[in-house]
Structure formats: structure tokens, C-alpha cells
């Protein structure tokens, strides 16, 4: 019967002939029929949204986003453009008093950073870039791996489950500046508790290593970052684990899959979108890390722990090389865009599945 | 078979408790160390049976800790309040409306997260100096300046948190209010906002946590008047003496308000964070 009452049919039967399923729309449009039907169909959408309120509907969202948008333009967009302009200027100790009026220098700042191998800034940037990549790799990798591990542990039934889950979050609640000062204290070579553990208590090492200086210093910032990052990763993975239907895992078990294969073929594929999102933001935040090395080691963390952000801030503010800082920031941003593009290419399918 | 399962369960339970102990150990160590005096800390010999609250008393005198704490609290609270207010309207707009420009707006809000802080910091710093030299506006090293910067800086994340909360609120609620004669904005203020109260609280706490913990901007945009805790606390490690006990005691005191705020709103905060993340 639905076939005979096809609405697009030009010669439609009388109203009585319409099916019982005919909705309110056809009732409304009954008196004028025939060709007028098409028009009312076309005008159906705006009508449904309510005649007078159409105006309100189009304006209200703009009013709602206005305060946030104005702030964003003032503190995000304008300064960002300002940053690009500064990166094209020779703004250093000698021209600092001119502020934005400093002389133009074209792409000189970029050239110095990227290609001028005689320049200390070029070497400093390369070193900081290497450190940042190593720091980001280990911090994000370990945080996600351990966060997932802890989430799997906490997803099992255990006595005191709720209190364990809550307590597990505490490292994340400790402010990172407190965390950094605490670890700085624990890393001390002569009387620090970490060396006590490694040397005096467990005899793993026969001498007390120096952590806050030299080659070890990158680990001195990686490990606290991981420690503080695990709770959040765990929390998100745990939410994902709890959303997995029991039946899926039971079905896999029925088919003879052991715990490892269940994880490999059921659990992990379902967690992939969460993994992807955390990887994206984890890499961004780790690459822009500043607080941990700065609080722990001061404005110059030394060649082995100098990250891009500490380098940029030190050169821009302590040495007044604002042009360099702005150019380096722009390069970092371009690097991040490249990372987002790579990430998008790798995880596009997971994002579509998650929708 | 059953015994093997039991053994596995026992081993995994033990591992869970071990992991928890490892995660909590540094915090426990922080508390224990703050109950020692500087002499014991500098020799690394703890006397756990004779804790002293000396450091907690001295920390207020040695460095102007009260000043830093007040600055941090006021700046973070006001900035978090403003960010939450802006985010609740903008988050609602993004959750409920498809309007011309909504997609670019959304992308630009996420896009702010891709830009390194130094990109904003340099021009903002120079801009503040310029304003100080040429107008009556004082933003460099003032609480107002820091509030402006933090509000802007933590609004994007708050928008996404709030949006996740609004998406979870059924549309029928506003529709019912509008049938009763409310305007759409009226329905938002009277019906949706109260229903989103837990989300608003969570977003506020979240923004507060972030602002309280901000180091990059605080390190360059404040000198003395508006010095916040993350920077001020380092003064315990002066050139002449290392006041580790006071430093750690100050760390404990700085953590307390955050802990209280977090655990008071934990349920909503966790829900908002995970909802946002699961949705992507």
C-alpha cells in the first residue's frame, strides 16, 4: 500500500486513500494538493524548526560563542600573527627597545636555525630537537604502555577496587611543579633516596650516579613525567575497557582464545581509537614540555636535558633573541602540523569507526 | 586448573597492590620528608619516629609564601571562573547547533592546542610592555594580566569538556521548557545550565588545576607582584642556603587545595574527561 501512496506521485489518490501511516505532514497539507505538495515538501525543513524561531536559531549560537571567540582572537590569533611577524624581524638586545618596530630581516632567523652550522643557535636548536624527540618518544610510549597495563590490572575484580582506582589517580593531582621539586630532591646524587635505593639497599649499582646533570638528566625528566602521566592514561583506557561488551570476550573465549589472544584480537582493536587520541595529544603536550625541566633544573637544564621550549624561552627572554624565539616557535608549530598529518593518515580509519 | 587460576589471580592482585604502592611512594616520601628538618634532609638520614612540624611553621616566614599562594588562588580561581563561563555558552553552541562557521570555529579551537606556548608568550609579553609604556593599562606582572592570559589559554579545553557534558543532556529538557514559553536562551539558562551543574563544576576544577599549575607564562609575565606558586616556591632554594624541608612543606601545602578540589568533584571530573576522550 505504501507503494500506491508514494508522495512524489503527481496524481495522488484522495485523502481517504492514504495509508494509516501518513504522518502529520500530509494532514497539514491536505487542502491544497497536486503540484503544491512538492513545494510544501521543500519548505518542510524550515517549517519544522518553527517559523519565528528560525531567526533566533541562526543568531543565538553566534552570541553564545562570542565571548570565547573574542578572547581567542585577542590572546590566540592576534599574538600568533604577531609571532609570525616577530620571526621575520631582527629583534635582539640592541633593537629590543623598538619592540615591534625592529628592523625586518626576512627569513634570516629561519636560515640561521636550519642551515647556519657555524651558529651556536643552530647547534642548540638541533640538540634541543633531538632531546625533545627522545623525551617525547619515551614519555608518551611509556605513559601509554604502562597506563594500559594498569588499566587492565584494575579492570579485574579485586577487593577494594574503587579505593584503588581513586588512589591511583593521586600522582596526577599533585601539581607538576610540586612533582618536579619533589623529584629533584629525590634525584640528588649524594643523599637522594633514589640513589639510596639503587646503591645502598639493592646494590644494583656500585656507585652513586649523577642524575640532574650530564647524560642521565634526560631520564630525570622522563621518569617523573611518566609517573604523573600514567593515571590519566589509565583512567581513559579503563573507561574504554568498561565499555567493551562482556559477550565479545566470552565469545572469543568460547572460540578458544586465551587471555593474550583475547587482548590482541578483541580488546586492543576496540581501544585503538582511545589510543590514537591519547597519542595525538600526548605527543603535542610532551613536545611542548617546559614546566618539568624548568622547575627541576632551572632555565638552563644543560645540553642533555634542554628541550625546545626551554631553549626558546631562555634565548628569547634571558638573551633577548626574540626573533630567534619566534622563528623557532613557528618551526615547532609546523612540525606539529606535520605530526598531525601523519597521525591523521595512520588513524583515520579508527576515527571513522569511533563515530 | 582451579588452583592455577587462583594462583594467577593472587599474583595479579599482588601486582596491582605493588603498582599502587609504587605510584603512591613518591607522595608518601614527600609527606615524610616535609616532617624532617633541614639537617636531617641534607645528610639523608630520616628520623621517622620524631617528625617535626618545624618546616611547616617556618615556610611562611622564610619566603613570602602567603603572597604566592594568594596570587595563585586568586588568579586561578578568577581565570577558571571566566573560562568556564565562556566555555559553557560556547560549548552549548557547539553541542546543539550546526551553524555557518561552526566547523571552522571548532577546528580553530582544537588548533590552538597545536601552537607552542612560546608563540603566544613572546607577542603577549611585548604587547604588555608596549601597553605599559603607551597607555595606562598595566598587565605585565599584575594579577589582571595573568587572569586574561589564563582565561584565554584554558578556554579551548574547557569548551570541549563542556560540549561533552551538554551532548549528554537530553534535548527533550529544553524542548519542554520552550513549549512552556521559554525562549531558547531562557531554556538554556533556566533548564540546561542547572542540569549541567556537575559538568560546570568539573570544568571549573579542571581549568583551576591547569591554571594553578601553569609555569611557562608565570615564569616570564610575573616578577614579584603577581608571582605565583610554581615560580615562587623555588625561592626556598636560594643562593646561600637550601631550605629543602620548607620547600617540601610548601609543596605539601600547595598540593592540599588541589587534592581537596579534585576529590570533591572527582566523580564528575572523571566522567567528563572520559566522555570527552571516548568521543574523541
Average pLDDT over residues B39-63: 77
Report pLDDT for A70.
86
Report pLDDT for A188.
86
Judged by average pLDDT, the poorest of A33-42, A54-63, A196-205, A324-333 is A33-42
Asked if B257 has any chain A CB less than 8 Å from its own CB, the reply is: no
Structural Rg of chain B based on CA atoms: 24
CB pairs under 8 A between A and B: 272
- Which residues in chain B touch residue A191, judged by CB atoms under 8 angstroms apart? 41-44
Judge residue B224's burial from the number of C-beta atoms within 10 Å of its C-beta, 0-12 exposed, 13-18 middle, 19 or more buried: exposed
For the cut 80, the answer to whether the pLDDT of residue B69 exceeds it is yes
Asked if A338 has any chain B CB less than 8 Å from its own CB, the reply is: no
- Which residues in chain B touch residue A57, judged by CB atoms under 8 angstroms apart? 97, 184
Q: How confident is the model over B124-154, as pLDDT tens digits?
A: 888 888 888 888 888 888 899 999 999 988 9
Average pLDDT over residues B154-163: 90
Tell me which residues of chain B, numbers 136 to 195, contact chain A at a CB-CB cutoff of 8 Å: 148-149, 151-153, 155-156, 159, 183-185, 188
Q: Name the pLDDT band for A138 (thresholds 50, 70, 90).
A: very high
Centre a 10 Å sphere on the Cβ of residue A207 and count the other Cβ atoms it contains.
Answer: 9
DSSP string over B69-137: HHHHHHHHHHHHHHHHHHHHHHHHHHHH---TTHHHHHHHHHHGGGS-HHHHHHHHHHHHHHHHHHSS-
- Which residues in chain B touch residue A337, judged by CB atoms under 8 angstroms apart? 114
Q: How confident is the model over A269-309, as pLDDT tens digits?
A: 888 888 998 999 999 999 999 999 999 988 888 889 999 99
- Which residues in chain A touch residue B29, judged by CB atoms under 8 angstroms apart? 182, 186, 193
DSSP string over A51-106: TTHHHHHHHHHHHHHHHHHHHHIIIIIHHHHHHHHHHTB--STTTGGGGGGSPB-T
Selection from B168, B105, B21 nearest residue A62 by Cα: B105
CB–CB contact A186 B19 (8 Å):
no
Report pLDDT for A354.
56
Average pLDDT over residues A163-167: 89
Give the residue with greater pLDDT, A260 vs B80.
B80
Report pLDDT for A49.
43
How far, in whole angstroms, is CA A109 from its chain's centroid? Answer: 29
For the cut 60, the answer to whether the pLDDT of residue A38 exceeds it is no
Q: Name the pLDDT band for B263 (thresholds 50, 70, 90).
A: confident
Tell me which residues of chain A, numbers 118 to 147, contact chain B at a CB-CB cutoff of 8 Å: none
What ipTM was assigned to the predicted interfaces of this complex?
A: 0.89
List, in sequence order, the alpha helices (H) in A73-199.
Answer: 78-87, 108-115, 120-154, 161-168, 170-173, 176-186, 193-195
Amino acid at each position: 500500500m505504501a507503494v500506491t501512496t508514494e508522495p512524489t506521485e503527481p496524481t495522488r489518490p484522495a485523502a481517504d486513500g492514504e495509508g494509516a501511516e501518513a504522518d502529520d505532514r500530509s494532514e497539514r497539507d491536505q487542502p491544497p494538493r497536486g503540484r503544491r505538495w512538492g513545494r510544501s515538501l521543500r519548505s518542510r525543513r524550515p517549517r519544522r524548526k518553527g517559523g519565528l524561531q528560525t531567526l533566533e536559531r541562526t543568531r543565538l549560537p553566534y552570541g553564545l560563542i562570542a565571548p570565547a571567540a573574542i578572547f581567542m582572537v585577542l590572546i590566540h590569533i592576534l599574538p600568533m600573527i604577531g609571532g609570525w611577524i616577530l620571526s621575520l624581524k631582527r629583534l635582539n638586545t640592541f633593537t629590543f627597545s623598538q619592540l615591534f618596530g625592529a628592523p625586518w630581516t626576512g627569513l634570516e632567523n629561519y636560515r640561521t636555525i636550519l642551515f647556519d652550522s657555524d651558529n651556536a643557535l643552530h647547534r642548540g636548536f638541533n640538540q634541543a630537537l633531538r632531546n625533545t624527540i627522545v623525551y617525547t618518544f619515551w614519555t608518551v610510549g611509556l605513559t601509554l604502555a604502562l597506563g594500559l597495563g594498569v588499566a587492565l590490572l584494575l579492570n579485574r575484580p579485586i577487593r577494594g577496587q574503587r579505593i584503588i582506582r581513586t588512589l591511583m589517580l593521586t600522582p596526577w593531582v599533585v601539581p607538576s611543579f610540586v612533582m618536579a621539586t619533589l623529584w629533584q630532591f629525590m634525584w640528588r646524587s649524594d643523599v637522594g633516596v633514589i640513589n639510596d635505593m639503587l646503591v645502598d639497599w639493592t646494590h644494583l649499582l656500585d656507585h652513586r650516579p649523577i642524575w640532574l646533570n650530564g647524560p642521565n638528566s634526560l631520564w630525570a625528566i622522563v621518569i617523573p613525567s611518566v609517573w604523573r602521566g600514567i593515571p590519566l592514561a589509565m583512567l581513559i583506557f579503563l573507561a574504554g575497557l568498561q565499555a567493551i561488551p562482556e559477550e565479545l570476550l566470552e565469545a572469543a573465549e568460547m572460540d578458544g582464545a586465551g587471555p593474550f589472544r583475547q587482548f590482541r584480537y578483541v580488546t586492543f582493536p576496540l581501544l585503538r581509537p582511545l589510543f590514537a587520541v591519547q597519542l595525538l595529544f600526548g605527543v603535542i603536550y610532551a613536545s611542548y614540555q617546559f614546566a618539568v625541566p624548568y622547575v627541576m633544573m632551572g632555565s638552563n637544564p644543560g645540553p642533555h636535558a634542554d628541550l625546545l621550549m626551554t631553549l626558546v624561552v631562555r634565548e628569547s627572554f634571558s638573551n633577548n633573541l626574540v626573533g630567534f624565539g619566534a622563528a623557532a616557535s613557528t618551526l615547532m608549530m609546523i612540525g606539529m602540523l606535520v605530526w598531525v598529518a601523519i597521525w591523521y593518515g595512520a588513524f583515520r580509519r579508527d576515527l571513522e569507526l569511533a563515530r | 586448573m582451579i588452583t592455577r587460576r587462583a594462583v594467577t589471580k593472587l599474583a595479579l592482585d599482588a601486582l596491582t597492590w605493588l603498582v599502587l604502592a609504587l605510584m603512591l611512594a613518591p607522595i608518601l616520601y614527600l609527606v615524610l620528608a616535609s616532617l624532617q628538618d633541614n639537617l636531617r634532609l641534607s645528610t639523608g638520614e630520616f628520623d621517622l619516629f620524631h617528625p617535626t612540624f618545624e618546616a611547616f611553621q617556618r615556610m611562611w616566614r622564610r619566603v613570602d609564601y602567603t603572597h604566592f599562594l594568594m596570587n595563585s588562588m586568586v588568579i586561578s580561581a578568577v581565570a577558571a571562573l571566566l573560562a568556564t563561563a565562556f566555555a559553557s555558552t560556547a560549548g552549548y553552541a557547539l553541542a546543539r547547533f550546526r551553524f555557518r562557521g561552526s566547523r571552522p570555529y571548532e577546528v580553530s579551537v582544537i588548533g590552538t592546542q597545536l601552537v607552542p606556548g612560546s608563540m603566544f608568550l613572546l607577542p603577549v609579553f611585548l604587547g604588555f610592555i608596549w601597553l605599559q609604556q603607551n597607555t595606562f593599562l598595566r598587565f605585565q606582572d599584575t594579577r589582571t594580566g595573568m587572569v586574561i592570559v589564563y582565561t584565554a589559554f584554558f578556554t579551548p579545553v574547557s569548551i570541549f569538556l563542556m560540549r561533552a557534558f551538554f551532548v549528554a543532556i537530553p534535548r527533550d529538557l529544553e524542548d519542554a521548557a520552550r513549549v512552556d514559553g521559554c525562549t531558547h536562551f531562557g531554556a538554556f539558562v533556566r533548564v540546561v545550565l542547572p542540569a549541567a551543574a556537575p559538568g560546570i563544576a568539573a570544568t571549573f576544577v579542571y581549568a583551576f588545576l591547569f591554571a594553578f599549575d601553569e609555569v611557562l607564562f608565570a615564569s616570564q609575565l610575573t616578577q614579584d607582584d603577581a608571582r605565583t606558586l610554581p615560580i615562587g616556591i623555588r625561592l626556598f632554594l636560594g643562593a646561600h642556603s637550601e631550605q629543602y624541608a620548607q620547600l617540601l612543606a610548601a609543596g605539601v601545602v600547595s598540593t592540599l587545595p588541589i587534592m581537596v578540589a579534585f576529590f570533591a568533584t572527582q566523580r564528575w571530573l572523571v566522567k567528563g574527561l572520559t566522555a570527552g576522550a571516548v568521543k574523541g
